[in-house]
Amino acid sequence: MHGVRRACSASALVLLLVPLASAMPAAVRRHALRPRASARMSAAAQWLRANGYVLAGEQSAGGSGWASCSTLSVTSPEGVARRLFVKSARRSAREMFEGEALGLRVLRAARAIRVPEVIHFDDAPDGGSFLVMEHLELTGSADPAEVGRAMARLHLAEPSLAEARAGSFGFCVDNTIGGTPQPNAWQADWIEFYREQRIAHQLRLAGNDELDQLWAAVLERTDGLGALFAGMPPIRPSVLHGDLWSGNMAATPTNEPTIFDPAAYFGHHEAEWGMSWCAGLGPAFWRGYRELLPEEPGFAARRPLYELYHKLNHYNLFGGGYRADSARLMRALAAK
């Protein structure tokens, strides 16, 4: 189910394998260490047994450059047979799984779309960490209009965290997007949050003079991005999946839309669509979404800004043509 991270381009999805980590920039590579699966799975199994679960079987479910996965067949303390999904990694729970687990919980708290239940996350006794969650049977794509309505309900839901209810943007912990650290310090101003903790952060990781110069031109031409938000109503914090693409959304056997593998935080709902170039969202999806959340003034002009964050992240993770994509988006923003 969850846990396999893939690079995405306009034309293809490319499976991210462990050897690719060696080609990452040093600032990102140190966050993508290869996991030792057997020790981590054992730690998860030990926790489950200690908490009243009876284990009947375990099966590998693949992984990525920064986590390995398995499914466990168990009987719960209440006597219910079920399957659980386990992720493991060499990094600590605070570094690796805390952000994902808390992100799943705030998404689930919105009661807008199916999100796997988090059972437990913790450090393993001999180092590394694990995350245990509900296993979801996935069958492909849900009805796109219903997915759109579900995502609109998610974005319209009252935030479950007090800071976001008070109008601040960010999250209770820093997390990761793929293998890249994602800072989330609370800020009251959305433009400042996005400018500093999203784009400027990715540019520092990239360390590319051309991209730095292009971004400076964008800030100059847009009054520090403020011009892109002119005429808008006040922005309220929405809970965001944060990394929504086709690999992180699916349907259950009852055709219920579901999302997983988040890089969650509270932000402007439009920022959710920065990965739409890799999500296959068609007209039916947008009709469903706009039924509940109409398009705001200037959305088309802001879309390149929100896409830029993810293109920069892909450049930091995978290199290649994503630098050119990032440069193209900045030139477009500077021309507005």
CB 186 within 8 A of CB 169: yes
Residue-by-residue DSSP string for 245-298: SGGGEEE-TT--EEE-S---EEE-GGGGGGGGGGTT--HHHHHHHHHHSPPPTT
From CA 26, how far away is CA 206, in angstroms rounded? 10
From CA 38, how far away is CA 114, in angstroms rounded? 30
From CA 206, how far away is CA 219, in angstroms rounded? 18
Residues 6 or more apart whose CB falls under 8 angstroms from that of 23 comprise 318, 319
Write the CA distances from 30 to 33, 60, 137, 197, 208, integer angstroms.
Answer: 6, 25, 33, 20, 19
From CA 218, how far away is CA 259, in angstroms rounded? 33
Q: Which residues are the active-site residues?
A: 243
CB 315 within 8 A of CB 326: yes
Q: Percentage helix, strand, coil, to 5, in the chain?
A: 45, 20, 35
